[in-house]
Structure 1
Amino acid sequence: MKKFFQLALVAVMILAATATATAQKYGYVNADEIIAAHPEMKVAESNLESLQKQLQKKGEAMVQKFQTDYQALEAKAQAGDLTPKQQQEEATKLEVRQKEIAEFERTMIADLQAKRVELLEPIYTSVNEAIEAIAKENDYQFVFSQQTLLYGDESADLTSQVKTKLGL
C-alpha cells in the first residue's frame, strides 16, 4: 500500500510538471523592426550623422593644415632657407601635431560611440518596457528575439502589439 501511494505521488508530480510546462506561453518580437520604426530613431540617426560630419570636417581641416605645413617645410629645407637645427625644430612641431591628429581621431570615435549610447538608450528602454508590458498583459513567460529564433509560429509574433503599445 505504501508503494502504491509513492507511485501515485510520483504520477501526480509528473502530471503537475507536465501541466505547468504546457501552460507556459512563449512569444517573439522583431526588435530591429520596432526600433527602426521608432520616430526617435530617425532623430537620433540624424543627430549622429550631423555630429560625425562636423567632427570629420574638423579632422580633415587638421590633416589639410598639417599637409600644407609639411610641404612648406620641405620646400624651405630644399631651398636651403632653414638651418639643420631649424629643420629639426619644425619637424618636431609637425610630429607633435601628427600625434594630436591621431588623438583627435581616437577621441572622435569615442565621442561618437558615447553620443550613440546617449541617444539610443532611451529608445531601447522604451521598446523593452513595451515588450515587458505586452508580455505581462498577455501572460507570456518568455519573449524571444526573432533574430535568434530558428522557428516561431506567426501567432506568437508580438511585434505588432509592441508597435501599437508604442504608438507606431
Structure 2
Amino acid sequence: MRKLVLFVVLGLASFVSQAQAPVKVGYADVDYIFSQLPEAKQIDQELKSLQTQLKNQMDTKTQEFQKKVADYQANINTMIDAVRANTERELQQLQQNLEKFQQDAQTTIQTKQTQLMDPVYKKVGKGIEDVAKENGYSFVLNQQIGGLDVILYGDEKMDISDLVLKKLGVTPKPAAAAPATTPPATTPKKPN
C-alpha cells in the first residue's frame, strides 16, 4: 500500500512540474512549404511525364484491343466454332492484360511519387524539427492532413512555415490565391 501511495505522489509531482512548464505550440502548412521548394516543379514535371507515357501506352493497347473486338464482331457469323472459341480466349486474355497494365501503371506512378517525395518530406521534416528546437516550440502541428483542416484557428504568429522555408534556404514567395477550404475568418493567411 505504501508503494502505491508513493507511486501516486511521485506521479502527481511529475504532472504538476510538467503542468507549470510553458508549452509553445506552432503549426506549419506542409503543402505551402512544398509548393515553395524548387524541387516541387521538377517532381510535378517528372510525374506528369510518367503519367503521359503510361497513358499513351494504355491508349495504344486499348486501340489494338478495340480493333480486335471489332474484327471479331464483324466476322463472328463466318467463323468456325474452334476459331471463334480461340478468338474469344485471346480477347479475354487481352482484356485481362489491359486491366493488369492499368493496375501496374497506377502502382508505378505511386512508387515513383514516393521515390521522389521521400527525400523532400525528410528535408521538410528536418527543417520543421530544427525551427521548432531553435524557437522553443514543444509541438508543431500540420495545418492540414488529407485536405482536412487540423487547425481550425491559429494565430498567424504561430505559423512557422516561412521560418522553415528560410531554414531550407528558400525565400518564401507570396502564396497564390487559392479557394479557401474553410471560412475566411478561420483560415490564417500567410505573411508576405
Normalising by structure 2, we get a TM-score of 0.74
Where do residues 1-168 of structure 1 align in structure 2 (5 Å cutoff)? 16-20=17-21, 23-78=22-77, 80=78, 82-147=79-144, 148-168=150-170
Q: Deviations over 1:53-89 (max 9, x none)?
A: 11011011111001111111222223x2x21211111
Query: Separation in 2 of the partners of 1:15 and 1:104?
Result: 60
- How many percent identity over aligned positions? 32
Query: Separation in 1 of the partners of 2:65 and 2:34?
Result: 42
Which contiguous aligned blocks of 4+ residues in structure 1 show a shift greater than 6 angstroms? none
Q: Give the aligned CA root-mean-square deviation in angstroms.
A: 2.0
Work out which of the two has the higher radius of gyration on C-alpha atoms and give 1 or 2: 1
Structure with the larger helix share: 1
Q: CA deviation at 1:100?
A: 0.5
Count matched residues: 154
Residues 137 and 92 of structure 1, relative CA distance in 2, 3 Å threshold: same
SS at match of 2:153: coil
Q: CA deviation at 1:150?
A: 2.2
Q: CA deviation at 1:129?
A: 0.4
SS at match of 1:152: coil
Aligned position for 2:181: none
Structure 1: gaps of 5 or more residues:
1-12
Query: Separation in 1 of the partners of 2:43 and 2:18?
Result: 47
Query: Separation in 2 of the partners of 1:54 and 1:18?
Result: 57
Residues 17 and 130 of structure 1, relative CA distance in 2, 3 Å threshold: closer
Contact 1:26 1:143 in 2 (8 A): yes
Query: Separation in 2 of the partners of 1:134 and 1:37?
Result: 17
Structure 2: gaps of 5 or more residues:
1-12, 145-149, 171-192
Q: CA deviation at 1:16?
A: 4.5
SS at match of 1:101: helix
